[in-house]
Amino acid sequence: MYRNLRFVLVALVLVPALLLTLYFTQEVVWDKTSKQILSLTRSTSCYSEPRTQNHQPNIGPFPNDNPPPCTCQNANPAKQHVPQDEIEDLQRRRAEEYRQHQIRMGKQNDVLLLAPSNTPLQYPIRGFRVFPMIKTLIPGLALHSQNRTIYKVSLRVGKGVLSVMDVQEGEGVEGQNEGNLTFSSTSLEKLNDLLSRVTYTSTIYHIKTEDLSYFSFENHEVIFPIEIRRPSVPVLYDPGKNINSQVTILVKAFLRYKELQVLIKSIRVNYPNIKIIVADDSHNPEKIEGDNIEHYIMPPAQGWFAGRNLAVSQVATKYFLWVDDDFLFLNETRIESFVKIMEAVPELDVAGGEVLGNRFAFKLQYQEGNSEEGGCITRVKATHGPVPGLDGCFFVDGVVNYFMGRTDAVRSVGFDPFLKRVAHTEFFIDGLGGLLVATCKGLRIGHQERKDTGNYRQYRHPPKSDSEKKMQHHFFKNHLKCIKY
């Protein structure tokens, strides 16, 4: 009897204790779970309140103004080709020209902007473009905030002024037509109405630059770019109805008139009416006769690239086909195949073929280097990968001396007339980052038997002094530390 009573007493004590333990454990679990849900809700909401009143996100702008030095393996520094008594003055002039080049290319606007992890501010992160000195509405400005007694935001720019259209009496706007504009309101709806009417007007005339806009609310600040652009007028070429109105054939001639006549004869087999432009800097020019041939006589020995510039300057068609004066059109040489490729990829600027199976395709590995030493370029035999949708075509940086060029794109780069004798890769160096280039299989042309005799051999194989001048030229012009072919 006493034993049963003892069990009852123990049960009366332990059972309530166990129930209380289960209750509080469940409360802790639910409380922890609810906190996790609350935390998840906050982290996925539009923004969270700042942890501290002094919290300022480090979002930029961070300038990309001076990258680290570059390296050119097994290549001599370009400045070694500059006479020692000239190097100091040459470097000074180069540094100033490079500084101006950076300004022209808009490098001062080349900054990294980081979007904050969360913010109550809505703004155009990219793509907002204005005409210079023309008032333009800023799209997408808004504030998404929790309840406040008063809402206050500000907007600041550096190259223009801000204003709010149709400001009514009592609307909280300070800084109209200034570079710093402040808005305040007790109503979030009214504040966003103000933000929807904000305009930007650049106060400087520039055809291609940017401004940065700083948009802030309490401890939140975001930065978004404003592109200032003068629109350009399209330059279009009427393709006409046949290959003759689409393509012009260009040739640089020098001394080799027999080879040139063979080339022209081979062209006329399949293309009797296509225009041929010949730039000729021979010492004693000979007359080149034939229908639809333009023969331009240059001062003697002006050089390879000067002749190319002259020839390209006279093109009136959308495309041109470049050939050497000792090439030979074959039965399978079809200009239409080039045009088909260029039309299929409108972004393409140059398409290269092959000469006796050689496509001479290459990539240019370029490191910008720092502003003091300059950049490094190495030419390697490789491609960037296939051109989508075009079998046998691959993106490269340079091609063989048989290619089709988009006339306006090639003119925008041009051929440096300083390079008179041996030059080809240099055009693609100047066009790096500006010209989209591809090489394609099957676009064949022949080559006549080589006969580098007499005066031609003298000019075809320049002395070492020419190479020294060429490297010195690259050192300054292309801001190079080294170059390796």
What would the two tokens of residue 274 be? 């296509």
Q: Give the integer Cα–Cα distance in Å for 304 and 279.
A: 10
The whole-number pLDDT of residue 47 equals: 41
What would the two tokens of residue 250 be? 């260009």
Q: Give the integer Cα–Cα distance in Å for 152 and 131.
A: 29
The class that CATH gives domain 115-229 is: mainly beta
| Cβ pair 120, 145 in contact under 8 A | yes
Q: CA torsion 299→305→309→315, rounded to 10°? A: 110
Closest CA to 435 of 400, 406, 478: 406
Q: Give the integer Cα–Cα distance in Å for 469 and 264.
A: 35
| Cβ pair 81, 472 in contact under 8 A | yes
DSSP letter, residue 67: P
State the amino acid at position 97 in one-letter form: E
Give the DSSP H/E element, type plus range, for residue 378.
strand 375-380
The whole-number pLDDT of residue 46 equals: 37
Q: Give the integer Cα–Cα distance in Å for 126 and 109.
A: 13
Q: Was domain 243-484 assigned CATH 3.90.550.10? A: yes
Q: Give the integer Cα–Cα distance in Å for 75 and 79.
A: 12
Side-chain-side CA neighbours of 276 within 13 Å: the count stands at 26
What would the two tokens of residue 476 be? 């300054």
| Cβ pair 375, 484 in contact under 8 A | no
Show pLDDT as tens, one digit a residue, over the chain (485 residues): 444 545 544 455 454 554 444 444 443 333 333 333 233 233 333 344 443 444 566 777 888 777 889 988 888 888 889 999 999 999 999 999 888 888 877 777 778 777 777 789 999 988 899 999 999 999 999 999 999 999 999 999 999 999 999 988 888 999 999 999 999 999 999 999 999 999 999 999 999 999 999 999 999 999 999 999 998 888 889 999 899 999 999 999 999 999 999 999 999 999 999 999 999 999 999 999 899 999 999 999 999 899 999 999 999 999 999 999 999 999 999 999 999 999 999 999 999 999 998 999 999 999 999 999 999 999 999 999 999 999 999 999 999 999 999 999 999 999 999 998 778 999 999 999 999 999 999 999 999 987 655 566 666 666 777 888 889 999 999 999 999 98
Q: Give the integer Cα–Cα distance in Å for 33 and 27.
A: 10
The whole-number pLDDT of residue 462 equals: 67
DSSP letter, residue 361: -
**Domain ranges in the chain?**
115-229, 243-484
The whole-number pLDDT of residue 55 equals: 54
The whole-number pLDDT of residue 454 equals: 59
Side-chain-side CA neighbours of 484 within 13 Å: the count stands at 14
The whole-number pLDDT of residue 224 equals: 94
Closest CA to 25 of 36, 17, 35, 14: 17
Tokens 């280097």 belong to 369
| Cβ pair 178, 161 in contact under 8 A | yes
Contacts of 231 (CB under 8 A, 6+ apart): 131
